[in-house]
Amino acid sequence: MRLSAAEPIFKNRYDAGRQLAEKLASYADKSVVVLGIPNGGVAVALGVALALGADLDLVISRKIPLPLSPEGGFGSVTDDGTTILNDEVVKNAGLSQQQINYQVNQVRADIRDRSLLYHRDRPPLAIVGRTVIIVDDGLASGYTMRAAVESVCHRKPEKVVAAVPVGPEHVVKELEKVADEVVTCAVGSAPRFYVSDYYRYWHEISDSEVLHCLKECRTRRYGPKIELPERKEESEFSR
């Protein structure tokens, strides 16, 4: 679906997940792992994972905020250290290498804290040779998803699918260059694009809601009293 003007087509992130799952129906009951990007992407990923009969895990990818303008960003960092910079923004902002390093290190520290909170004593799911569907609640600049795709590729999956409910048309086309497949419910072509405009109800997803989504998926797939399969840590992830 191509939209020339922003309009709310999803009730909330959980509804967006159900709609996105319909676009991914061909992956149902196959060797698939769904990775949500915290925080908002995990709520969308829950519906995708449940509909496809897939395990749900995370890939933590965070925007690198501009100094003094944290609402803006100049790239993204992931939980394995993968870093992608928007060279045009870096140049226009006149950022020094010292400023870049400082901002990147701040984000890495935040990611370490989040990883400890979300994963606790559970290592990441094994994805070698499997199809991985990376889910976020939408695309803005696309750098958070691009960093996540590059990070996951280091872990040697068979295929990487980037899946989002909505994103700008030009960003979706750029993402198609790095992911094996890009799946969306809609693309926007309006000059000014805000992901929240496509949701009727939009709120910040808390860390506790992220943990609830992970628990909900495990409970509904395996049951509350069944011992979950042991997850093997991958050497590629820790390198």
Tokens of 57: 């895990």
Question: Domain for residue 52, yes or no?
Answer: yes
Mind listing the pLDDT tens digit for each residue in 190-234? 888 999 999 999 999 999 999 999 999 999 988 765 444 444 433
Measured distance CA(140)–CA(89) in Å, rounded: 14
Rounded percentage of the chain residues whose pLDDT exceeds 70: 93
Give the pLDDT of residue 230: 46
Task: Give the residue-averaged pLDDT of 75-98.
Answer: 96
Question: Domain for residue 200, yes or no?
Answer: yes
Give the pLDDT of residue 62: 97
Give the pLDDT of residue 9: 95
**Domain total in the chain:** 1
Question: Domain for residue 9, yes or no?
Answer: yes
Measured distance CA(169)–CA(189) in Å, rounded: 6
Measured distance CA(49)–CA(229) in Å, rounded: 17
Task: Give the residue-averaged pLDDT of 180-188.
Answer: 97
Question: Domain for residue 81, yes or no?
Answer: no
- Give the pairing type, strands 32-36 and 131-135: parallel
Average pLDDT, the chain: 91
pTM (two decimals): 0.91
Give the pLDDT of residue 205: 95
Mind listing the pLDDT tens digit for each residue in 46-58? 999 999 999 999 9
Q: What are the φ and ψ backbone dihedral angles of 127, each rounded to 5 degrees?
A: -125, 5
Give the pLDDT of residue 120: 79
- Give the pairing type, strands 83-85 and 69-78: antiparallel
Give the pLDDT of residue 171: 96
**Is there a contact between 162 and 134 (Cβ–Cβ < 8 Å)?**
yes
Q: What is the dihedral of CA 208, 214, 217, 223, to 10 degrees?
A: -90
Model confidence at 87: pLDDT above 80: yes
H-type helices in the chain, by residue range?
Answer: 13-23, 40-52, 87-93, 97-119, 143-153, 169-175, 207-222, 235-238
Give the pLDDT of residue 191: 82
- Give the pairing type, strands 159-168 and 181-188: parallel
Question: Domain for residue 73, yes or no?
Answer: no
Model confidence at 238: pLDDT above 50: no
Tokens of 108: 């890495």
Model confidence at 182: pLDDT above 80: yes
**Is there a contact between 182 and 162 (Cβ–Cβ < 8 Å)?**
yes
Give the pLDDT of residue 75: 97
Cβ atoms within 10 Å of 142's Cβ, excluding its own:
24
Q: What is the CATH number of the domain that holds 40?
A: 3.40.50.2020
Name the residue range of residue 139's domain: 2-63+126-225
Give the pLDDT of residue 232: 42
> In this predicted structure, which of 11-20, 83-92, 190-199 has the lowest mean pLDDT?
190-199
Question: Domain for residue 101, yes or no?
Answer: no
Question: Domain for residue 71, yes or no?
Answer: no
Question: Domain for residue 131, yes or no?
Answer: yes
